[in-house]
Amino acid sequence: MTEAPIISARGLRKVYRAGEVDVHALRGLDLDISRGEFVSIIGPSGSGKSTLFHILGGLTPPTAGSLTVAGYDLLKISEAERTKLRKTTVGFVFQKYNLLPTLTARDNILIARDIAGKPVEFDGDFNALLDLLGIRSRLAHKPRALSGGEQQRVAIARALVNHPAILLADEPTGNLDTENSTAVLGLLSDLNRRLGQTILMITHNAEAAAYAHRIISMRDGRIVPSE
């Protein structure tokens, strides 16, 4: 029996109101992502990829269509359920690391446990993940003492500390130099290969997108068919 996709969208639409004008950010998008896939979504500014990211992560609701994410029906769930999705089921990595400057790397990671109402400690095999990310020796340092690459690794650890089913990464190498970009992309690939982590990465960079199993191109709120 074939396993259902962890993300499945049909006819997905998102319309924003800008003054007297309707802005159609997504225009009837169909998408399936299997558990354990590493997928890149690429497209120019205004293509709808960031809107899709926010909808898949439960940050904003779609206007129409059907969408299930890890068993959640995102057109029917309550705001409380949407919040639960963000806390426990989806991990987020952003271009700007969004670390709290007054906290150590350790506390920046564990704050996600606190927000989710879980014991504020590393559990299970998380120390092995910290080793994979190469930051276990940097946990006592505050963000200002970390390089850009180290800060992004801390942000990835924070996104994974609650063992989410899906990792959403929005331009995760946008603030990094070439060396650190390559290292972070390699880490995402390792997380997918070694741990089976489902990853959806938004990027405008074709070289970054190539680290994924599958590349989806978007334009004008639609997926561009593969040639």
CATH superfamily of the 36-59+78-224 domain: P-loop containing nucleotide triphosphate hydrolases (3.40.50.300)
Pairing of β 214-219 and β 222-224? antiparallel
Q: Which of 187 and 1 is assigned the larger pLDDT? A: 187
SS3 139: coil
Mean pLDDT over 111-139 rounds to 91
Mean of all residue pLDDT scores within the chain: 93
**Which tokens sit at 79?**
């705001």
Confidence band of 227 (pLDDT split at 50, 70, 90)? low
Output the pLDDT for position 52. 95
Assess whether pLDDT exceeds 60 at residue 43: yes
Domain boundaries, the chain: 36-59+78-224
Percent of the chain clearing pLDDT 70 (strictly above): 98
Mean pLDDT over 54-66 rounds to 94
Assess whether pLDDT exceeds 80 at residue 133: yes
Output the pLDDT for position 123. 82
**Which tokens sit at 226?**
């593969």
Percent of the chain clearing pLDDT 90 (strictly above): 82
For the full predicted model, state whether its pTM sits above 0.85. yes
Q: In what order do the strands lie in the sheet with 214-219?
A: 90-94, 166-170, 198-203, 38-42, 214-219, 222-224
Cα separations (Å) of 19 from 16, 51, 79? 10, 19, 26
Assess whether pLDDT exceeds 60 at residue 1: no
- Please give the biggest Cα pair distance in the chain: 54
Pairing of β 214-219 and β 38-42? parallel
Cα separations (Å) of 56 from 29, 34, 109, 225? 12, 14, 22, 21
Output the pLDDT for position 59. 93
Confidence band of 30 (pLDDT split at 50, 70, 90)? very high
* Model confidence pLDDT, tens digit, residues 89-123: 999 999 888 999 999 999 999 999 999 999 999 98
Assess whether pLDDT exceeds 60 at residue 67: yes
> Contact at 8 Å (CB) between 166 and 69?
yes
Cα separations (Å) of 153 from 212, 213, 215, 220? 18, 21, 23, 32
CB within 8 Å of 194: residues ≥ 6 apart:
132
Q: How far apart are CA 163 and CA 201, in angstroms?
A: 17
* Model confidence pLDDT, tens digit, residues 159-204: 999 999 999 999 999 889 999 999 999 999 999 999 999 999 999 8
Q: How far apart are CA 217 and CA 49, in angstroms?
A: 9
Nearest alpha carbon to residue 146 among 132, 163, 133: 133
